[in-house]
């Protein structure tokens, strides 16, 4: 696929590094939390859920702010500053002597790591409306690549200790900040910039243009439920796999790498073709339905190899992100793309605050009562609800030609 603008591959690389930083620490979280918290494995998932919630709270407040700053000053300075702060924060977490320090580090990481908004805005700046779904698919693919490399690097670097993955993440983020400073062009034209207003730098302000466009509420609800269900993976996967299968950090890292690999294959190899054939709305429904079925299957799986087999279906859930994001992006003009993407990031953060708490508590409760798959059942219900809302309440989006006629 052609990128269309030289800024696109650079921001995709930034997203890869961002996700590597998130995924690289996942294989060592069970050992690190049990060590710093002086607790057993059964209690550690609840602490991990709060760590993810703190990260998400930081992103909730930072996402709209960074998006609006990007609409005012451009995407480039926001992305560079965020990645540099990310690097410093991972060094802080590498040296964390207590759980409290780890919580501080995760809060800062949430603020600095709200890069999906500016990255999505770069794609909206540089891509025609009719191609945004496919290019947003590349953004999802970048997430998948990061999810391949992050857990794999985390599992391998864990051989040098539970702090080593944080140091690797810090080095990667620093290198990426330097690369962006050298090569990333600005994509927001000066005529499309607008003043920064604090009253717009929150989730309601970011979505105000969407509500004016109409048909946004069911779509936003579906997005939120999808994100809420999807948090079961970062919140509980490492702990669930350790409890159910007795997997170590290396095995957990490999399973997460498999998830990322198949997601990339879908995003790069299938998204554009499927969208062209059945449209973004139907692709979103298919993806969410497959993701729902896979979550139910995980709840009752008994063999480790089945995890790999079931995700051959679950990977089609990767259609959801580019399909929904492209549809939302159609609803606002060029001056609001950064704000929109920041608002989406903020809404994701709300899901990431509540989702890990729900998932971790479900896992902890289920494990205590002999059913450690409870978190996946809850996630499947949420994901299935999102698919139902899109199928029943969200109309087919206008074609690109219709958009042109409306804007005239």
pLDDT for the residue 305:
93
pLDDT for the residue 172:
87
Question: In this predicted model, which residue has the larger pLDDT, 53 or 300?
Answer: 300
* CB within 8 Å of 407: residues ≥ 6 apart: none
The count of C-alpha atoms lying within 13 angstroms of the C-alpha of 268, restricted to the half-sphere facing its C-beta, is: 15
Residue 310 has pLDDT above 90, yes or no: yes
**Mean pLDDT of all residues in 379-407:** 70
Per the domain annotation, does 124 fall within a domain? yes
**Mean pLDDT of all residues in 97-120:** 79
Per the domain annotation, does 337 fall within a domain? yes
Per the domain annotation, does 190 fall within a domain? no
What is the CATH classification number for the domain harbouring 282? 1.20.1250.20
Tell me how far the alpha carbon of residue 310 is from its chain's centroid: 21
* Per-residue model confidence as pLDDT tens digits over 225-252: 998 998 888 778 888 988 899 888 778 8
- The total domain count for the chain is 1
pLDDT for the residue 138:
76
| Structure-block tokens of residue 294 | 């896979």
Per the domain annotation, does 194 fall within a domain? no
Q: Is 378 exposed, middle or buried (0-12, 13-18, 19+ CB in 10 A)?
A: buried
**Mean pLDDT of all residues in 159-186:** 86
Per the domain annotation, does 189 fall within a domain? no
pLDDT for the residue 289:
95
pLDDT band (50, 70, 90) for residue 404: very low
Share of the chain above pLDDT 70, in %: 85
pLDDT band (50, 70, 90) for residue 288: very high
The DSSP annotation for 272-319 comes to: HHHHHHHHHHHHHHHHHHHHHHHHHHHHH--SHHHHHHHHHHHGGGGG
* CB within 8 Å of 191: residues ≥ 6 apart: none
Coil, strand or helix at 373: coil
Determine if the pTM surpasses 0.95. no
| Angstrom distances, CA of residue 193 to CA of 26, 121, 196, 288, 336 | 38, 12, 9, 35, 9
Tell me how far the alpha carbon of residue 125 is from its chain's centroid: 20
Quote the CA–CA distance of 372 and 392 in Å, as a whole number. 32
12: closest CA among 187, 172, 149, 136?
Answer: 136
The count of C-alpha atoms lying within 13 angstroms of the C-alpha of 379, restricted to the half-sphere facing its C-beta, is: 36
Residue 405 has pLDDT above 60, yes or no: no
pLDDT for the residue 300:
94
pLDDT for the residue 378:
94
* Per-residue model confidence as pLDDT tens digits over 13-26: 888 887 787 777 77
pLDDT for the residue 379:
94
pLDDT for the residue 16:
84
Least confident of 40-44, 333-337, 399-403: 399-403
pLDDT band (50, 70, 90) for residue 374: very high
Quote the CA–CA distance of 40 and 44 in Å, as a whole number. 6
* Per-residue model confidence as pLDDT tens digits over 256-265: 778 878 888 8
**Mean pLDDT of all residues in 293-318:** 93
Per the domain annotation, does 287 fall within a domain? yes
Residue 333 has pLDDT above 70, yes or no: no
Question: In this predicted model, which residue has the larger pLDDT, 346 or 311?
Answer: 311
pLDDT for the residue 211:
60
Q: What does the mean pLDDT of the chain come to?
A: 80
pLDDT band (50, 70, 90) for residue 287: very high
Per the domain annotation, does 100 fall within a domain? yes
**Mean pLDDT of all residues in 123-152:** 76
Quote the CA–CA distance of 122 and 195 in Å, as a whole number. 18
Q: Which domain holds residue 362?
A: 7-183+206-407
pLDDT for the residue 402:
41
pLDDT band (50, 70, 90) for residue 200: low
pLDDT for the residue 215:
63
Residue 88 has pLDDT above 90, yes or no: no
Residue 54 contacts residue 106 (beta carbons within 8 Å): yes
Per the domain annotation, does 201 fall within a domain? no
Question: In this predicted model, which residue has the larger pLDDT, 188 or 317?
Answer: 317
170: closest CA among 117, 222, 113?
Answer: 113
| Angstrom distances, CA of residue 167 to CA of 5, 10, 149 | 32, 23, 15
pLDDT band (50, 70, 90) for residue 101: confident
pLDDT for the residue 198:
67
**Mean pLDDT of all residues in 268-287:** 88
Q: Is 1 exposed, middle or buried (0-12, 13-18, 19+ CB in 10 A)?
A: middle
């Amino acid at each position: 696929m052609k990128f269309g603008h030289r800024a696109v591959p650079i921001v995709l690389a930034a997203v890869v590094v961002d996700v590597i930083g998130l995924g690289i620490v996942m294989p060592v979280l069970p050992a690190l939390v049990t060590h710093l918290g002086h607790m057993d494995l059964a209690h550690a998932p609840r602490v991990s859920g709060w760590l993810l919630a703190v990260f998400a709270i930081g992103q909730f407040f930072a996402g709209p702010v960074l998006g609006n700053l990007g609409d005012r000053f451009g995407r480039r300075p926001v992305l560079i500053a965020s990645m540099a702060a990310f690097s410093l924060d991972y060094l802080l977490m590498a040296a964390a002597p207590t759980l409290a320090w780890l919580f501080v580090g995760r809060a800062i990481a949430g603020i600095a790591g709200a890069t999906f908004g500016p990255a999505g805005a770069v794609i909206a700046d540089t891509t025609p409306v009719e191609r945004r779904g496919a290019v947003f698919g590349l953004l999802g693919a970048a997430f998948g690549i990061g999810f391949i490399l992050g857990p794999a690097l985390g599992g391998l670097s864990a051989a040098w200790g539970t702090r080593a993955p944080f140091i690797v993440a810090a080095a990667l983020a620093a290198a990426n900040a330097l690369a962006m400073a050298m090569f990333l062009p600005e994509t927001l034209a000066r005529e499309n910039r607008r003043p920064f207003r604090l009253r717009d730098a929150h989730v309601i302000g970011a979505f105000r243009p969407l509500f004016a466009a109409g048909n946004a509420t069911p779509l936003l609800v579906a997005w939120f439920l999808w994100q809420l269900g999807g948090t079961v993976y970062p919140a509980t996967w490492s702990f669930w796999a350790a409890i159910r299968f007795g997997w170590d950090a290396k095995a957990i890292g490999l399973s997460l790498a498999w998830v990322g690999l198949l997601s990339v294959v879908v995003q790069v190899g299938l998204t554009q073709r499927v969208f062209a054939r059945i449209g973004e709305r139907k692709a979103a429904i298919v993806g969410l339905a497959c993701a729902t079925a896979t979550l139910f299957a995980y709840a009752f799986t008994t063999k480790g190899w089945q995890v790999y087999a079931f995700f051959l279906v679950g990977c089609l859930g990767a259609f959801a992100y580019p399909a929904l994001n492209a549809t939302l992006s159609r609803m606002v003009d060029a001056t609001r793309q950064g704000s929109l993407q920041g608002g989406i990031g903020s809404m994701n953060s709300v899901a990431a605050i509540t989702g890990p708490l729900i998932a971790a508590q479900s896992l902890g409760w289920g494990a205590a009562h002999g059913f450690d798959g409870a978190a996946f059942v809850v996630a499947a219900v949420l994901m299935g609800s999102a698919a139902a809302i899109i199928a029943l309440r969200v109309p087919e989006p206008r074609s690109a030609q219709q958009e042109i006629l409306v804007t005239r």
